[in-house]
Structure 1
Amino acid sequence: MSTETYDVVVIGGGPSGSTAADDLAGRGWNVLLLDRQGRTKPCGGAIPPRLIKDFEIPDHLLVAKARCARMISPKDNKVDIPIENGFVGMVNRDEFDEWLRERARSHGAQRMRGTFEKLTRDDDGVARIHIALQSPAPSHGQASHPEVTSIRTRFVVGADGAKSEVARQTVKGAERTKYVFAYHEIVKAPKQQADYDADRCDVYYRGALSPDFYGWVFPHGDTMSIGTGSADKGFSLRNAVARLRETAGLQNAETLRREGAPIPMKPLPHWDNGKDVVLAGDAAGVVAPASGEGIYYAMACGRMAADAVEQALKTGQSSCLKKARKTFMRQHGTVFWVLGIMQYFWYKSDKRREKFVTICEDKDVQQLTFESYMNKVLVRKKPMAHVRIFFKDLAHLFGMVKT
């Protein structure tokens, strides 16, 4: 049993955990980053300019730069939304996440491969993290017996994913989290195809592809991510992706890998245990409704968790941990609320999805939506555009009532 006491153990090396570890290690704290690795989360891989700027992401990690989003309705109405004066970066999560982990290590964080098992406390009240160490795959015919170790730490950042074991064991209410299940297939991009654009993200709003979310075809340079998600456990995501591939003309593209995972539907009501644990990323539930965007919010949340832990380390006040959630909800809570209402209303039926895509033809909607997405703030500087959108939405709603 280790007698060394870390200032912080970050459990989970995805974008959120790696960001928290990097920030804290860069400020001189003694940080351990624990990650199990060997698994890539299903993700479209889109990162907006705000993320690239705030977190200093180098250009070489961008495998594609999307300059247009195409919204596709149940009746195959296609609306192209150009991304004016910019682009959305596309990353491969396996390379992106490992780069983030290595950046944290280069700034002083220690790395360890393993899986969190439980949290106990020593006689002095300090947390002890029990870890099953990750070892090389056993040779043929040999059984694998993971080595277990334990580490003392003053604080814990739980960034171990949607079904966080840290959250389940330590944070009140975490067991009530609801999830969307996402699944995608990585395929080789076609060399030539009439309707394929390596600079465009295609988003399909069809009940056959998802009863409550959407399907996507996103470019990744030499590969593509084709996926969908749903909270309906009886809905076959694999069959839906097969339909999507056929619809997009990609049924014969070579499949490189398949990945699936749960994604939280909304932020948890509590992110800390009132003592020495704070959650971040998917473990805290910070995936945007309607869009499913998670990378930016995960990294922003990881930074806020790091700030809260640092305040607690400096002051000795555990109440500082609550600032992570308060700060996040103050900055992004309204956006999450608006997106949640949008998803609840517009994704309910193909009739509504058709009207939603029609609304996306409006230039005011396009401009305000992408300004908000690119900069991660609600755009308030053009009140008349908001008024016009409001009345256009009303016209669509009244049209729906009449039909």
Structure 2
Amino acid sequence: MTRSTTARSTVLALSSVLAAAALAVPAQAEDHHRASGRSLPVVTPRSETPALHDDEAGGNADADDPAIWRNAAAPGRSLVIATAKEGGLRVYDLDARPVQSIAAPPAAGPDHAPGRFNNVDLVQGLRLSSGRADLAVTSDRGHDRLRFYRIDRDRAGGPLSDVTDPAAPAVFSRDQAEVDEQRTAYGLATWTDPASGKAYALVSRRERTSIALLELLPAPGGRVTYRKIRTLDLPSSFRLPDGTSWSPCAEPDELPQVEGMVVDPANGTLYAGQEDIGIWRLRADLTGTPRLIDKVREYGVPGVYDEETEECTPGADPGYGGTKLSADVEGLTLVTEPDGDGYLLASSQGDDTFAAYDREIGDDNEYEGGFRVAPAGTPQTGSTPDGSEECDGAAALNAPLGSAYPNGLLVVQDGHDSPGDGDRPSTNFKFVDLGKVLHALDD
């Protein structure tokens, strides 16, 4: 999600408040210096995808969220599948070269929104009426649906083919009028229950705190549909240590939404990033009680919304927030290791850094360090890729991917690709050697 003008202005204002506080209180200066990412190690991307442009000339394509599909038979021919919002889906090879472009579905009519692919994840070996298949699953915010694409690496015409059941229901909306309100399917994570073998998608709702659990089901003709199992609502207001109640400043009737989500396959744990709040840990079947494992720095900061400027003016920081994440907390991904170790990685969008947490619940998801994705020098056209700013989505795969990435791959979205193309918004995806990330975290 590229932040709205309101949220962007709020974060800038809050950054000023936090910076002033750090200067005014010397004891806090070192912690703020560390938290702002200045002292974090830098990891340089190896390659980057072509820029996408979110304007009419660029097809309203805006990079958002990636997923990495590993070709078990030929790991060097694996793929990165990524969303481009109204631009649909993009598929890249491991050299970040385009392989396939899939358009989002058109609008249902002249007064309705077109398809808008927000997040993407993968399902391995789902049983369809035509046999087992690997799938790319994406949330279509424009139509409040999930879309499914079968992955066949050597298929003529491109590796992805649409296998969505035309009768697949809306995820949250009761009718087209509710779809038009665009409080629709947003964040996405998939999960296969090892006990039952059933595959699920967890889907968050735009401008609401809801997360829905959907069971993925085969439909006639080798297609895929789903049914809703249950829904959970995360809190929208919070009791602060001073006894007051707080909610993040937002437009009227807009609640703190979730986008970044990932499920740990080893224990069925869902991690969900509530953008202006922090990271929640809960059961992927949406039973039990969610636990907030870390907060954004801006947690507890009061704000007043101005309807004329459509911006929030923050008040004084009471100091109840965390020190590792700056709103928005966005793309979440896991680095898994065979022995059960590994990391939960989170994009700290407000300060262009990434935070790493211990994957082990027994260690209470302890913070293990952070890093930035940045260029080795000044990026210039045709030379070194630039870094990642305001990262929306990330995907990691800790497995050999041929000679290009023998130590695994991290793909991150860049919300401000540079050098830009004049006044045109430019976004893309950066490919990073995961081995370098792990080395930076282990140092």
Give the TM-score of the pair, scaled to structure 1.
0.22
Instruction: Give the strand-richer structure, 1 or 2.
Output: 2
Give the TM-score of the pair, scaled to structure 2.
0.21
Higher relative contact order (CA 8 A, sep 6+): 1
Choose 1 or 2 for highest CA Rg.
1
Instruction: Give the helix-richer structure, 1 or 2.
Output: 1
